Amino acid sequence: MAESRIITAGYISMDITPAFPAEHYRGRTLQDVVRPGKLREVGGAESSPGGCVSNTGLALHVLGADVSLIAKVGDDAFGRMIRDVYERRGAPVDFIVSKDVETSYTIVISVPGNDRCFLVDAGANDHFYPEDLNMEEAAKAQYFHFGYPALMRSFYLDGGERLARMYRAMQETGLITSLDTAQPDAGSESGKVDWESLLAKSLPYVDFFVPSIEELGFMLDRERYEYWQEKALRTGEDICMTLSLEEDVRPLAKKSLEMGCSCVLLKCGAAGLYLLSSSEERMVSIGDRFREHCRECNPELAAATEGVFTGRGWGDLDLFQDSYKPDRILSGTGAGDTAIAGFLYALSHGMDPQTCLKVAAGCGSMCITQYDTLSGLLPIPELLKRIESGWELQHFIQK
């Protein structure tokens, strides 16, 4: 059967993640571990590609999807390390390699029982432009996923004009579009951007908006976000463990729909995932556009996937998917991105909304069982079998 091709483009970096052995660090706070003048012994460092293109795009490849992976790297050691990993995995890449910029890197500090901390140099990502995309090649795909404009200077310095122009072009071509965000550094240039105004330009051209609840709170309701921060600090709990579906999650999802996207999938950390969609009519219009595009660019695919995504059954949804209990927790790095990979894989294979959410939650829970993003992932048939066998759910969010 012909496969739908999924373009995954945007942010990429080399992630360096020191291991914090649980037997030494369980019960200790990040603030206690990372203190001025203190030396801490850690385990070996895991080095692997990170960012949206690696965490979501490479995860899609591992799951068996037909992907096209597009990012910008420097002609340097980190860039060669990233390309080597992709080549060894047999992943199709369309990297822009520049001698004028350096490859991005990230130091991931993941202390057991604490939210992760990231030290980031955006590097080449700040010099990625919509013009770097080959629209003739893009027109041969069926899905377009882009991640982390908040960490890519060229996409926020102009008030979001480039981002909106890119999404408008992809949607007009007929592709199903999705957008992921990232947490801006409040004290940085991106932290001072009017994100509500910026997103309002792009969301009308985004079919599936897939940010985390913390990112969305920061971007659309700073007062609410700061209250979450204060509450988490006071209680010692992760923000996602203190949220109310009715008071915190649903209002931000509704606001996203009002700003123009067709469907929003909010990643709520260890609590799970929340999906809210627009009307049946609008969701069906996505399916009509998608099938028309398939007929034009790939008749064989159009025939094979007729009815795979019609939008029917996707309208007026209000669903919360609890997370699955992981076998162990080694690192949360990339869990949200791999959840999105699972969702896009299921979506592109014609699965219903409820199953798409279950696959997403399952991928996220498997991801955190390893230090790297990909090693814990299961083939989708095995994942579905585990889900259907009664995989234990975790009930963290207030409903």
* Cα distance between residue 341 and residue 339, in whole Å: 5
Cα→Cα distances 170→133, 146, 202, 213, 218, Å: 11, 11, 11, 25, 27
For 201-260, how does the pLDDT look when each residue is reduced to its tens digit (9 = 90+)?
999 999 999 999 999 999 999 999 999 999 988 888 888 888 999 999 999 999 999 999
* Confidence label for 116 from pLDDT (cuts 50, 70 and 90): confident
The DSSP letter of residue 99 is S
Taking only the tens place, the pLDDT of each residue in 311-327 is: 999 999 999 999 999 99
* Residue 1 scores a pLDDT above 70: no
The answer to whether 363 and 377 are in contact (CB under 8 A) is yes
For residues 4 and 196, the model is more confident at 196
**In angstroms, rounded to a whole number, what is the distance separating the alpha carbons of residues 89 and 339?**
20
Instruction: Quote the DSSP letter at residue 51.
Output: S
Q: What is the pLDDT of residue 218?
A: 97
| CA–CA distance, 76 with 101 (Å, rounded to integer) | 9
Strands 208-209 and 72-74: unpaired
Q: What is the mean pLDDT of residues 111-127?
A: 87
**Range from 43-47, 165-169, 226-230 carrying the lowest mean pLDDT:** 43-47
What is the predicted pLDDT for the residue at 158? 94
Q: 66-70 and 5-10: which strand pairing?
A: parallel
**3-class secondary structure for 121-148?**
ECHHHHHCCHHHCCHHHHCCCCEEEEEC
Report percent pLDDT > 90 for the chain. 75
What was the pLDDT predicted at 23? Answer: 79
Q: Buried b / exposed e across 79-118, counting CB within 10 Å, b at 16+?
A: bebbbebbeeeebebebebbeebbbbbbebbbbbebbeeb
Burial of 361 (0-12, 13-18, 19+ CB in 10 A): buried
What pLDDT does residue 265 have?
98
Closest CA to 367 of 269, 245, 240, 276: 269
CB contact at 8 A, 47 and 77: no
Q: Any idea what DSSP says for residue 150?
A: G
Nearest-angstrom CA–CA distance, 136 and 283: 26
In one-letter notation, the amino acid at residue 92 is P
For residue 96, pLDDT beyond 60: yes
Give the pLDDT confidence score for residue 145 in this predicted structure: 98
**Class for domain 5-11+51-103+130-394, per CATH?**
alpha beta
Q: CA dihedral defined by 22, 394, 266, 176, rounded to 10 degrees?
A: 100
> Mean per-residue pLDDT for 287-316?
85
What digits encode the pLDDT tens for the residues 57-91? 999 999 999 999 999 999 999 999 999 999 999 99
**What does the domain layout of the chain look like in residue ranges?**
5-11+51-103+130-394
Look at residue 306 in the predicted model and tell me its pLDDT: 60
d(CA 117, CA 102): 22
Q: The tokens of 257 are what?
A: 């729909």
Query: Which structure tokens are listed for 98?
Result: 């520049």
pLDDT level of residue 307 (50, 70, 90 thresholds): low
Give the Cα separation of 371 and 334 in Å (integer). Answer: 10
